[in-house]
């Protein structure tokens, strides 16, 4: 089994064990929470494991799956709320009906609330080397998710509907909406591994271009992808009149922008040496998604 498959298996085993059982009251809420965590690439958990391996040069201990699961739960909460009628009004996620579509809008809001709380319960309860390290971990994830991170990026995304924007404004939005949680994933993995300040800085340097590249690639895939290839609704950006890198640079320009950013991320990862092979593989998978966009379009 390759390392990406192993990391996905490990975090999914944790989620299956740690999530409330679907038949535990309130049953509708817990069933919907489990639905929200079905499917997906498990990219952010993989980054937690990959960062640990890059710093320590060895596989992560079992408890790191709890940290990875916390990141995935927070990511899932953000998707549930992002799909709501008041936001993107998406009908599908990971090839399945969006939570609000299957369980109702009110329950979907509660699912997001519960998953966010559960993410911090798991993160705070992980066996960090010291209380100080655990407190730092909670701060890292909280900052990535708040008004200066993911939520603030989503607010700015809504404000970009039906108006013009410059590339610098879009880049700032994407770094908060997508990039900061990817950076938090790397930093949490590094923290678990005992990263030095210098190593933390390298992880952040990898996350910058990687996170922006991932969202630019998503802009491209929103244009050329379908429900079958993406597992979610395509064409939502155009439908809602949003400025994206495709509207700014054109389809091919956005594709080349994403690939260039992924090259920067891979170059930054070289500073971590041979231990960063897992990180290199993840970045390569990201790049492959947008590299094959021409075939999707054809």
pLDDT in tens, 133-173: 999 999 999 999 999 999 999 999 888 876 777 899 999 99
Which pLDDT score, from 0 to 100, does residue 45 have?
A: 99
What is d(CA 44, CA 277) in angstroms, rounded to the nearest whole number? 16
Q: Kindly list the domain boundaries of the chain, sorted by start residue.
A: 3-297
Cβ atoms of 42 and 8 within 8 Å: the answer is yes
Query: Of 254, 249, 239, 242, which Cα lies nearest the Cα of 294?
Result: 254
Q: How far is CA 210 from CA 122, 152, 199, 223, 227, in A?
A: 26, 20, 17, 20, 24
How far apart, in whole angstroms, are the C-alpha atoms of residue 214 and residue 212?
5
234 band by pLDDT with thresholds 50, 70 and 90? low
Inform me whether the pLDDT recorded for 263 exceeds 60.
yes
**Tokens 């992980």 appear where?**
126
Question: 278, exposed or middle or buried, with CB in 10 Å at 0-12, 13-18, 19+?
Answer: buried
pLDDT higher than 70, residue 260: yes
Q: What is the pLDDT of residue 197?
A: 97
Q: Once rounded to an integer, what is the mean pLDDT over residues 116-136?
A: 98
pLDDT at position 112: 99
Fold of the CATH domain 3-297: Farnesyl Diphosphate Synthase (1.10.600)
Q: Mean pLDDT over residues 38-59, rounded?
A: 96
Checking if the pLDDT of 26 tops 80, the result is yes
Question: Can you tell me the mean pLDDT for 175-204?
Answer: 98
pLDDT in the model for residue 240:
73
Find all residues with CB under 8 Å of 96, minimum gap 6, and list them.
35, 38, 39, 102, 231
The encoded tokens of residue 191 equal: 């923290």
User: Residue 81's pLDDT is what?
Assistant: 98
Rounded average pLDDT over 246-255:
95
> For residue 296, is pLDDT > 60?
no
Taking the C-alpha atoms of residue 32 and residue 245, their distance in angstroms, rounded to an integer, is 34
């Amino acid at each position: 089994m390759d390392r990406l498959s192993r990391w996905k298996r490990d975090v999914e085993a944790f989620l299956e064990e740690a999530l409330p059982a679907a038949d535990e009251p309130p049953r509708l809420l817990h069933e919907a929470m489990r639905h929200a965590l079905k499917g997906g690439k498990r990219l952010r958990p993989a980054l937690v494991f990959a960062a640990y391996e890059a710093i320590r040069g060895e596989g992560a201990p079992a408890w790191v799956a709890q940290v990875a699961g916390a990141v995935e739960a927070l990511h899932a909460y953000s998707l549930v709320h992002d799909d709501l009628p008041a936001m993107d009004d998406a009908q599908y996620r990971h090839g399945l009906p969006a939570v609000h579509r299957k369980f109702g809008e009110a329950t979907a809001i509660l699912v997001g609330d519960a998953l966010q709380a559960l993410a911090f319960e798991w993160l705070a309860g992980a066996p960090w080397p010291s209380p100080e390290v655990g407190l730092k971990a909670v701060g890292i994830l909280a900052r990535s998710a708040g008004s200066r991170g993911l939520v603030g990026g989503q607010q700015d995304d809504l404000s970009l509907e039906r108006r013009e924007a410059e590339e610098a404004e879009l880049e700032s939005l994407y770094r908060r909406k997508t990039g900061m949680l990817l950076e938090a994933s790397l930093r949490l993995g590094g923290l678990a591994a005992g990263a030095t300040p210098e190593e933390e800085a390298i992880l952040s340097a990898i996350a910058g271009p990687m996170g922006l590249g991932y969202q630019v690639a998503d802009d491209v895939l929103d244009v050329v992808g379908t429900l079958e290839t993406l597992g979610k609704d395509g064409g939502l950006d155009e439908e809602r009149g949003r400025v994206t890198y495709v509207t700014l640079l054109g389809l091919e320009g956005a594709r080349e922008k994403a690939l260039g950013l992924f090259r920067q991320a891979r170059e930054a990862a070289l500073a971590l040496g041979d231990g960063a092979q897992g990180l290199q593989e993840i970045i390569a998978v990201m790049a492959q998604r947008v590299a094959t966009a021409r075939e999707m379009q054809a």
